Amino acid sequence: MLHAVIMAGGSGTRFWPQSRRKTPKQLLSLAGRRTMIQQTLDRCAAWVAPENAWVVTNAVQAAAVREQLPSLPVSNVLVEPAARNTAACIGLAAFEILRRDPDGVMFVMPADHVIRTDEAFGRAAQRAVSIVQASPDSLVLFGVVPTFPATGYGYIERESRLDEASPPLFRVKNFREKPQQSVAEQYIRDGRYFWNCGIFCWKAATIVQLLKQYEPELHAGLQEIDGASGSDDYQQVLEQKFPAQKHFHRLCGA
């Protein structure tokens, strides 16, 4: 089955004073009547059932997330024990999905994106899912054509186009972290770089295996958390065993 995973952490600092620690930007109505996290769930409602939608957040914001997304089962709001990086967030969700659905496909997205073209986004999402279903070892990520030399975004360097279907599909050559202005300008002139928007699609089993291969400490911690799920010791394991920050792009071969 297909599962939507919404990453909804954050400390509420980027849009201060509108946002706060308890109400970061994804919990605010900044681009419409509904909050950003509500819009994110709305965006995938046509192709993911509520029981297969997940949110990974923190303890401070979990109650507000549940209140804003009443269609989600309470157990589908996963609470990180500590602020970590993307790999830990995704890994926590992957283990949970894998336990319930060994063949599950994950479509992962941030909670705070403004996307005005929901139909086009849906087509791209379904294409990504079809690629992963046809090739279970695939890792698919979304890139955005840059419109200016942004220094606050990471970039994806592409290689050759893999087919003639639409939206276009490219092999990833490299990931580039937030560049200096002159480097960002070069990326724009080059034409082979996309903004990395943090949207991914893959099988839960595949990403768990890659965590084991490339981030064994992180995998071991997540495995122990998963093993304690439902027990009286679960919260203690969460607090003691959640590993330190990891560099997510290593999993994608960069």
Q: Where are the domains of the chain?
A: 2-141+199-249
The owner of tokens 């479509």 is 107
Please give the C-alpha separations between residue 55 and each of 31, 134, 156, 253, in angstroms, as whole numbers: 20, 26, 25, 26
* pLDDT confidence tier of residue 192, bands split at 50, 70 and 90: very high
* pLDDT confidence tier of residue 229, bands split at 50, 70 and 90: low
pLDDT tens-place string over residues 113-163: 999 888 999 999 999 999 999 999 999 999 999 999 999 999 999 999 999
pLDDT tens-place string over residues 4-23: 999 997 654 554 444 445 56
Residue 246's pLDDT is what?
Answer: 42
Q: Rounded mean pLDDT of 55-81?
A: 93
Nearest to 110 by CA among 207, 195, 192, 206: 195
Residue 225's pLDDT is what?
Answer: 84
Distance CA 109, CA 90 (A): 10
E strands of the chain, at which residues? 2-7, 53-58, 77-80, 105-110, 140-144, 155-161, 170-176, 193-203
Residue 9's pLDDT is what?
Answer: 75
Residue 90 near residue 108, CB atoms below 8 Å = yes
Q: Rounded mean pLDDT of 92-119?
A: 95
- % helix / strand / coil in the chain, to the nearest 5? 40, 20, 40
Instruction: Read off the DSSP letter of residue 48.
Output: S
Q: Is the pLDDT of residue 85 over 50?
A: yes
* pLDDT confidence tier of residue 25, bands split at 50, 70 and 90: confident
Instruction: Read off the DSSP letter of residue 180.
Output: P
Q: What is the mean pLDDT of the chain?
A: 87
To which CATH superfamily is domain 2-141+199-249 assigned?
A: Spore Coat Polysaccharide Biosynthesis Protein SpsA; Chain A (3.90.550.10)
Nearest to 168 by CA among 136, 197, 148, 192: 192
Distance CA 181, CA 74 (A): 44
Residue 166 near residue 197, CB atoms below 8 Å = no
pTM of the model: 0.87
Q: Rounded mean pLDDT of 42-57?
A: 95
